[in-house]
């Protein structure tokens, strides 16, 4: 029977959410197309995770090797390429994570198999793979056909498929590692932790999130004053940190922090999914953006389509008015 492979990504002793999200989507695809769902678990001392994964898949392929302890695309590529050649799965699902984007493209070239990256949906039409992906920072979607092949590789966007409760009792199959030689081209050295920050944005009730729409560093005092009026804290999208206008501990999103304040006010933020993932569970979201089609409006409770440079001073005035104070 044909298989669907799901690579179970783990880091620092934990299986990452993306693995369960892909297993959920994988199960749906496997049922529709009458295939088996197989979780692939590579690592060192990861047997305990095999048990967990077996509740989500028909089979768990387990390979333990000290060379697989930390993620290393070179080591993973060798092992996966072996497994794919041997089992010939119709589909191999890898997370579109920092780990997955380092691994999948070269693996696909190595195996001469087509790859579709950052997929937000997948379906088979008679063994032909159709994917949905986003372009232009999420402003449009495309449905695309992947070149016909006996085996496909995809990377799947995080937090796109909701992981469901386990329902299976799969078989764990352990095989010896095919890695005989040392990995020479690439070597993991260490994890580098973010510098300890001054402000903890995850603890704030009121967050004013600023994005590239604020245009210039000279406009920072304007938004700082608004945050002060609220008694809130400034957070931001990535470009603000990239430009050095705020320190990295203020960044909200996949490569920053996940926040859940009582209110998140997004000023000049377009709503790229990497940002939205970090704030969409806020109790209340208010967005100010001059573009009525900005994706942020499909996550916000309230939207204001206007120039933030007009709204911010007016809003500051109103807050002080309500508080009975002078600005």
Partner 1 sequence: MDIIVCVKHVPETAEAEIKIDATGKAIEKTGLVFDINEWDDYALEEAVRIKEKFGGTVTAITVGPEDADSTLRKCLARGADKAIRLTDTRFEDSDGYAIAKILQSTIKSLPFDLILTGALAGDDGYTMVGPILAELLGISHATMVKKIELDDGVAKVNRELEGGLEEMVEVKMPMVLTVQTGINEPRYVSIMGIRKAMQKEIKVLGLADIGLSENDVGEAGSWIKIEKMFVPSVEKQAEFLKGTPEEVSAKIAEILRARGLI
Ligand X SMILES: Cc1cc2nc3c(=O)[nH]c(=O)nc-3n(C[C@H](O)[C@H](O)[C@H](O)COP(=O)(O)OP(=O)(O)OC[C@H]3O[C@@H](n4cnc5c(N)ncnc54)[C@H](O)[C@@H]3O)c2cc1C
Residues 297-326 that bind ligand X (CB under 6 A): 307-309
Nearer to partner 1 among residue 47 and residue 243 (C-beta): 243
State both tokens at 267: 């000023």
With beta carbons less than 8 A apart as the criterion, state whether 240 and 211 touch: yes
Stretch that binds partner 1, among 38-46, 78-86, 109-117, 172-180 (CB under 8 A): 109-117
**Whole-number minimum distance, CB 220 to ligand X, in Å?**
14
Residue 280: which of partner 1, ligand X, none does it interact with, CB under 5 to 8 A by kind? Answer: none
With beta carbons less than 8 A apart as the criterion, state whether 206 and 232 touch: yes
Verify binding: residue 136, partner 1, rule CB under 8 A.
Answer: yes
Binding mask 241-280 for ligand X (x = CB under 6 A): ----------xxxxxx-----------xxx-x-xx--x--
**Whole-number minimum distance, CB 72 to partner 1, in Å?**
8
Stretch that binds partner 1, among 49-57, 84-92, 165-173, 313-321 (CB under 8 A): 313-321
User: How far apart (Å, rounded) are the C-alpha atoms in residues 148 and 227?
Assistant: 54
Binding mask 242-261 for partner 1 (x = CB under 8 A): xxx---xx-x--xxxxx---
Site for partner 1 in 26-55 (CB under 8 A): none
Verify binding: residue 160, ligand X, rule CB under 6 A.
Answer: no
Residue 108: which of ligand X, partner 1, none does it interact with, CB under 5 to 8 A by kind? Answer: partner 1
User: How far apart (Å, rounded) are the C-alpha atoms in residues 285 and 135?
Assistant: 25
Phi, psi of 223 (to 5 degrees): -80, -30
* Closest alpha carbon to 137 in 286, 294, 303, 25: 294
The bridge status of strand 115-125 relative to strand 128-135 is antiparallel
User: How far apart (Å, rounded) are the C-alpha atoms in residues 9 and 22?
Assistant: 10
Verify binding: residue 72, ligand X, rule CB under 6 A.
Answer: no
Report helix, strand or coil for 78. helix
Phi, psi of 202 (to 5 degrees): -75, -15
State both tokens at 120: 């937000």
Q: Which residues of the shown chain bind ligand X in the complex (CB under 6 A)?
A: 137, 211-213, 237-239, 251-256, 268-270, 272, 274-275, 278, 288-291, 294, 307-309
């Amino acid at each position: 029977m044909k298989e669907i492979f799901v690579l179970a990504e783990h880091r620092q002793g934990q299986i990452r959410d993306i693995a369960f999200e892909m297993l959920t989507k994988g199960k749906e695809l496997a049922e529709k197309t009458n295939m088996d769902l197989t979780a692939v678990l590579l690592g060192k001392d990861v047997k305990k995770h095999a048990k967990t994964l077996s509740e989500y898949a028909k089979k768990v392929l387990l390979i333990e090797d000290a060379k697989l302890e930390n993620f290393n695309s070179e080591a993973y590529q060798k092992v996966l390429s072996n497994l794919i050649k041997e089992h010939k799965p119709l589909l191999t699902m890898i997370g579109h994570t920092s780990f997955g984007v380092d691994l999948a493209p070269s693996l696909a070239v190595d195996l001469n198999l087509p790859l579709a990256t950052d997929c937000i949906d997948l379906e088979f039409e008679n063994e032909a793979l159709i994917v949905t992906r986003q372009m232009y920072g999420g402003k449009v979607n495309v449905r695309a056909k992947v070149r016909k092949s006996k085996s496909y590789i995809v990377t799947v966007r995080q937090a796109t498929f909701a992981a469901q409760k386990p329902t299976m009792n799969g078989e764990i199959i352990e095989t010896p590692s095919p890695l005989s030689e040392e990995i020479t081209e690439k070597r993991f050295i260490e994890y580098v932790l973010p510098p300890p920050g001054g402000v903890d944005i995850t603890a704030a009730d009121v967050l004013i999130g600023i994005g590239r729409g604020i245009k210039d560093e000279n406009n920072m005092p304007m938004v700082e004053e608004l945050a002060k009026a609220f008694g809130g804290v400034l957070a931001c999208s990535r470009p603000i940190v990239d430009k050095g206008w705020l320190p990295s501990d203020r960044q909200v999103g996949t490569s920053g922090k996940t926040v859940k304040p009582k209110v998140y006010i997004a000023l000049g933020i377009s709503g790229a999914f990497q940002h939205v993932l970090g704030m969409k569970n806020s109790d209340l979201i208010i967005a100010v953006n001059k573009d009525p089609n900005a994706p942020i409006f499909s996550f916000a409770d309230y939207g204001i389509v206007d120039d933030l440079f007009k709204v911010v001073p007016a809003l500051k005035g109103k807050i002080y008015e309500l508080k009975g104070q002078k600005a």
